[in-house]
Structure 1
Amino acid sequence: MEIKNIGQLLDKVRSGKSSAEEQVLLEAWLHQYNMEGPTGLSDEDFLNARANMLHAINQARLHPVKRTRLWYRLAGIAAAVILMVFGAGLYYYINHKPEFKDGAGYSNDVSPGRQGATLTLANGKTIRLTDAVSGEIAKEAGISVTKTADGQLIYEMKSPMEQESKQAYNTLTTSRGESYILILPDRSKVWLNAASSLTYPANLGEQKTRKVRLEGEAYFEISKNKEQPFKVESRGQEVEVLGTHFNINSYADERTVTTSLLEGSVKVIAEKNMNALLLKPGQQSRLSGNAELDLMPNVDVEEAVAWKKGYFQFNGEDLHAVMRQLTRWYNVEVDMVNMPHKEFYGAIRRDVKLSQVLKMLELTGKINFKIEVENSQGYERRKIMIR
């Protein structure tokens, strides 16, 4: 695949002569182009990239001023297609043929994560939602738990709960390689990312203070109710809300706990010293391991919720941070020995196989990956080797 400029790649896709690799490359370029300003292609449209590809290309061709500004940025990268880079903040693809290794390096490919979770009821019973059929899957103390045809979990109050059951808690858990959508008893909606769990009262809607416990990462759309404030406990902090949209990343292997606000307002409180921050839309709080709570006043909150929209988005993340995301979504291990220091900028879809993601990362320069299989006590596990 030898592409001299982005126009050639656009033409190949329009004519139906592009390879799978070229389509992945163009999708990444379109996302970067879209971030430069309005092009008629929303993030949601982008996530349906194949269905909307021709529309996106036509929009790009109808805006020569925007293309000029983009190509001005490319002046120092002669005859290259913009895609991904580390360090410099531009996305590029060198004009010689990339060395996509389809041999042994990717013979042990891994499929992307999927919708799935495990529900643990108050009585200790566990239900694998991936295997459960649609319809009512549980009923306890006046609460009906239903799995919808599109894989969401919905709680409904059918009758008043008995007094002894009012402290009954349920836990929704996703393993690595899984995500799930939950509609809580108070009609709040939660998107649970991979390797995460949410614990909540089965009668959450009847609680004076609606309080849940998060481990990992989740995006919340909270039903507004001034009489019943909503609180999220996570690693070292508590978030107080009335009605709002926000994301919390509290994975134990991340350096900080981040709370990103998209709509409304939230109050973030550090549990250790009770320091507090009031966030406005477009702001983010970061809680460090020593309980320092910092305000990031102007951040790209869309980056924080990229996972919910179906893609990885990197904005200066180092290789360790990138690999942590891949281990959770693809349920693989990574060889962390002698990992080079590189920074990555770009967006990659989460619905592609692991090899496609690794190929995109390889385009950034002198780094190569290999997927190996390790056997331990009769159990096979994929591992990413960095070369």
Structure 2
Amino acid sequence: MTAFRPQKDIQKIIQRYLAGKATADEIRFVEEYYKYLGKEEGHLDNADEIQELEKANFVAIQAKIASSKKYRVLPFYKYVSAAAVLILLTVGLYFFLSKNSNTVPVPLTKIENLDVLPGTDKAILTLADGSKVILDEKTAENISDKHGVKISKTKDGQLIYTVLNTDAVSSSEKISLNTIQTPKGGQYQVVLPDGTKVWLNAASSLKYPEVFVGNQRTVELTGEAYFEVTKNKTKPFHVKSENQDVEVIGTHFNINGYLDDQTIKTTLLEGSVRVCNASAVKILKPGEQAIAGFAKNSMINISSDVDTNDEIAWKNGLFQFNDADLKIILNQLERWYDIKIDYSSIPKKRYNGMVPRKSRLSEVLRMLEKTGNIQFELLEGRQLKVISQKK
């Protein structure tokens, strides 16, 4: 089955379906989704403004399916919001087995005995004096105002640094370093003192000064983070990770450096970055990705065949996969749901799909099970057993 790039391809699939040129898989996708909407119409009452094209698409789909008398036709007001749902894939959770599969996508059914809540905005902040602050919804908004810098948090999971006294900062003899660390099942956003925004994914950490002094801005990353760096031509921004240094002036990029993924990937969305390690130096252009191992002498390979939406889907609240290896998918689930996975029996399969990260674990697992290749069993201690199904 072709790997779908959701924001680009869903509209094309609909148009091919309406024109009678869709493949068998694409026909099943549209019609099974419509069938799902028919069963779940109670969830479609909060319609927003929908573009006329989207309305027209669903009217046409309604008429086409009604003519085949496969499914009952819903009143338009019951599914008008579903037009955007189908096109944007914000609801309707499907996984597709990639390539050489005739599996029909099946709508979500809750599995009562496999239910783990998704991750939340939570982290631990370690201040320069070694004291630790738990960052969650119960934490007070004002955390510290020492060294001429105010540290505060917002209710929606942001840690903000504000320079109050530049004289106090510049006269300080020692740079005060802070570290924010997200556990499994956690994520957090940091606004650094220069205005740079950092989204920190689960099981990750970022070390940084309370204020940037000198002729460069340097932070240290483990795990994964998305950066929107404030431009400053006289003070470049450096992200140091395992045997790698990424230098920027002002740009948007994502670094994925989880050790269990075995590679470090730097994906550029805007601007320009320089990626270097002990053996190579590469310059990235928007839409490119640098891929390297963790060894000091590892080669840096550049790929322009990358979907940036996939790489930053986590930051936008999604799991999104295009022809992804099952182990990579399970690694993400393990970090986000804070579970332990037995990898000894996983099949060597690749998958396409999109699921909101706010979904319960049971919802994601059921989608994977519907491919017919695997089953899951959740044991005590949040341990997940993967059972490969032979055909």
Fold equivalence (TM over 0.5): yes
Native 8 Å contact 2:93 2:354 kept in 1:
no
Alpha-carbon spacing, 1:352–1:198, altered in 2? closer, same or farther (3 Å): same
Please give the secondary structure, in 2, of the residue aligned with 1:253.
helix
- After superposition, the C-alpha distances for 1:137-163 in whole angstroms (9 at most, x for unaligned) are 112211110112322111011112264
Give the match for residue 190 of structure 1.
198
Which ranges in structure 1 are unaligned for 5 or more consecutive residues? 27-48, 68-80, 374-380
> Quick check: 1:84–1:90 contact (8 Å CA) kept in 2?
no
- Residue 169 of structure 1, aligned match among 169, 177, 183: 177
CA distance in 1, matches of 2:378, 2:180: 31
Give the TM-score, by structure 1 length. 0.77
Distance change >3 Å, CA 57–CA 286, structure 1 → 2: same
- Find the counterpart in structure 2 of residue 142 from structure 1: 148
Listed one character per residue, the Cα deviations across residues 138-192 of structure 1 (whole Å, up to 9, x for unaligned) are 1221111011232211101111226445411000100000000100000000000
Give runs of aligned pairs for residues 287-306 of structure 1, distance below 5 A.
287-290=292-295, 291-306=298-313
- 2:189 aligns with one of 178, 181, 189: 181
Relative to structure 1, is the Cα distance of residues 146 and 90 closer, same or farther in structure 2, using a 3 angstrom cutoff? farther
Instruction: For 2:281, give the aligned amino acid.
Output: A
Q: What's the counterpart of residue 123 of structure 1?
A: 129
1:327 corresponds to:
334
Match of 2:285 in 1: 280
* 1:91/1:346 contact within 8 Å kept: no
In 1: Cα distance, 2:193 partner to 2:136 partner: 21
Structure 2 CA distance for aligned equivalents of residues 51 and 131 of structure 1:
30
Counterpart code for 1:170: N
2:95 maps to: 84
Superposition pairs for residues 1-387 of structure 1, below 5 Å? 6-7=30-31, 9-10=33-34, 13=37, 17-18=39-40, 58=55, 60-61=57-58, 83-88=94-99, 93=104, 102=111, 106-130=112-136, 132-159=138-165, 160-161=168-169, 163-164=171-172, 166-204=174-212, 206-270=213-277, 272-273=278-279, 275-290=280-295, 291-373=298-380, 381-387=381-387
Cα offset, 1:135, TM superposition: 2.5
Unaligned runs of 5+ in 2: 1-26, 65-91
Distance 1:369 1:99, change over 3 A: farther
Distance 1:99 1:189 in 2: 35
* CA distance in 1: counterparts of 2:313 and 2:300, whole angstroms: 23
Q: Secondary structure at the match of 1:355?
A: helix
Give the TM-score normalised by the residue count of structure 2.
0.76
Across the aligned residues of Structure 1 and Structure 2, the Cα RMSD in angstroms comes to 3.1
Aligned residues: percent identity? Answer: 38
Would you say how many aligned residue pairs link Structure 1 and Structure 2? Answer: 328
Deviations 1:61-89 (A, max 9, x none): 2687xx9xxxxxxxxxxxxx994322318
Cα–Cα, structure 1 residues 294 and 91, in superposed 2: closer, same or farther, change >3 Å? farther
Q: Residue 98 of structure 1: CA displacement?
A: 8.0
The 3 A distance-change label for structure 1 pair 133 and 365 is same
* Rounded Cα–Cα distance in structure 1 between residues aligned with 2:95 and 2:357: 16
| CA deviation string 1:167-225 (max 9, x = no partner) | 11000100000000100000000000000000001112x34200000000000000000
